[in-house]
Amino acid sequence: PVILGIETSCDETAAAIVTRDASGMPVIRSNIIYSQIDDHAAFGGVVPEIAARAHAEALDGIVSAALDAAGIDLSAVSCVAATSGPGLIGGLIVGSVTARAIAHGRGLPFIAVNHLEGHALTPRLTDALAYPYLMLLVSGGHTQIVLVRGLGAYERWGTTIDDALGEAFDKTAKLLELGSPGGPKVEAAARGGDPKRFALPRPTRGETRLDFSFSGLKTAVRQAALKAAPLSAVDVGDLCASFQMACADVIADRMMRAFARFRAEYSDIAVPTVAVAGGVAANETIRQRLDEAARKAGFTLVAPPLRLCTDNGAMIAYAGLERFEAGLVDRLDTPVRSRWPLDETAAPLVGSGR
């Protein structure tokens, strides 16, 4: 099958064509992404109304570009998949309505994909990873540890009780006036900085449950910044390095617990896998600590290429591909959902709406 996937849940307008080769391996035939980052830059964050309008303006061209880059037209497409939640409602409507219009016009099946399922299945697209595996999703909107047992079978083991990790990076960058998007700026400023200079807290470290919390860390950074003001470039570098190390420590601590829990549930898997997704996966320090922790626990770390870790159409097309092959198509009147926990994607009804 040839799947057209559409992603419009936040500030990327994206479309992709994914299929399988003769041996059954997934193939990305095209993956076109328009980042709206410049449209929102002046506002210091994503403005929902601007995002929706930008999606509406760009999407037709992005879909055409994805078809062109794949060297096909709509007659070659078997199914249309679109992110239908969670995310900003305006963007979700634009993407989902466009997908449903194409599906209706062409008499094709439509699949309403959960954005988080797209992230969760990406390591199967890039690394042909077998179920089950552990997933750490660290993005601007989410910080979750998920057990991926199979298609549509997800258990959320932990989530943030306040800020997402990417959000903590973005807020830290804003506080230190480093600009946006914050993650890469903080990482760049941290280079050469002293991670031990500022004693920052490690929220949730040692707790039994697998949840995260980053707002206390953010407050501690603010207090340290006030105390050290006026900040020199060296101060900013040390503060960023200290913040980043605190984040990496927290991730390593939470994941060590998740690894133990996975071992207890799947004692028959000798070398289990943990996959990482989301924009924060770009962070070298966090990746390194995660790799260290995984090794220590006897896990293999799979980190898909960054352009597939952040929001893209290929992950939605791939989730659509697995669902299409399983006969899990959706009705054209399936509503979009701004809130749609991944666990609720579990055990879908075959062939009917969810």
**From 3, 4, 10, 302, residue interacting with Mg ion (rule: CB under 5 A):** 10
Residue 142 or 329 having the CB closest to ligand ATP: 142
Give the bridge partners for 302, in sequence order. 275
Residue 119 is assigned to a ligand binding site: yes
Residue 139 is assigned to a ligand binding site: yes
Q: Which stretch binds Mg ion (CB under 5 A): 67-75, 229-237, 269-277, 305-313?
A: 305-313
Q: Which stretch binds ligand ATP (CB under 6 A): 17-25, 55-63, 248-256, 278-286?
A: 278-286
Least Å distance, CB 139 to Fe ion, is 5
Where do we find the tokens 């057209």?
4
Between CA 93 and CA 323 the distance in angstroms is 21
Residue 45 or 71 having the CB closest to ligand ATP: 45
Residue 138 is assigned to a ligand binding site: yes
Residue 100 or 142 having the CB closest to ligand ATP: 142
> What backbone torsions phi and psi does residue 116 show, to the nearest 5 degrees?
-70, -30
Least Å distance, CB 148 to ligand ATP, is 17
Alpha-carbon distances of 301 from 134, 140, 198, 304, rounded to whole Å: 10, 21, 30, 10
| Residue 278 lies near ligand ATP (rule: CB under 6 A) | yes
Q: Which stretch binds Mg ion (CB under 5 A): 5-13, 212-220, 224-232, 287-295?
A: 5-13
Cβ-closest position to Fe ion: 311
Q: Which stretch binds Mg ion (CB under 5 A): 161-169, 228-236, 258-266, 303-311?
A: 303-311
Residue list 53-82, contact with ligand ATP (CB under 6 A): none
The tokens describing 191, both together, are 């280079």
Residue window 142-171: x/- pattern of binding to ligand ATP, with contact defined by CB under 6 A:
x-----------------------xx-xx-
Least Å distance, CB 165 to ligand ATP, is 7
Q: Is the dihedral of CA 86, 90, 91, 95 positive or negative?
A: positive
Cis preceding linkage at 26, omega within 30: no
Residue 117 or 330 having the CB closest to Fe ion: 117
Alpha-carbon distances of 168 from 116, 139, 204, 213, rounded to whole Å: 20, 10, 15, 10
Residue list 309-338, contact with Mg ion (CB under 5 A): 311
E-assigned strand segments in the chain = 3-7, 12-20, 26-35, 79-85, 110-114, 133-138, 143-150, 153-159, 273-277, 300-302
Choose the contact partner of 235 out of Mg ion, ligand ATP, Fe ion, none; CB within 5 to 8 A by kind: none
**From 5, 279, 304, 320, residue interacting with ligand ATP (rule: CB under 6 A):** 279
Contact 251, 144 (CB under 8 A): no
| Residue 91 lies near ligand ATP (rule: CB under 6 A) | no
**3-state SS assignment for residue 231:** coil
Choose the contact partner of 282 out of Mg ion, Fe ion, ligand ATP, none; CB within 5 to 8 A by kind: ligand ATP
Between CA 239 and CA 241 the distance in angstroms is 5
Contact 314, 32 (CB under 8 A): no
Residue 147 or 316 having the CB closest to ligand ATP: 316
Where do we find the tokens 């994914």?
18
Residue 26 or 278 having the CB closest to ligand ATP: 278
Compute the CA torsion angle 343, 345, 346, 347 (nearest 10 deg): 160
**3-state SS assignment for residue 95:** helix
Residue 169 or 214 having the CB closest to ligand ATP: 169
Footprint of Fe ion (CB under 5 A) = 139, 311
**3-state SS assignment for residue 192:** coil
- Interface ranges with ligand ATP (CB under 6 A): 10, 139-142, 166-167, 169-170, 181-184, 187, 278-280, 282-283, 310-311
User: Which residues are annotated binding-site positions for Fe cation?
Assistant: 115, 119, 311
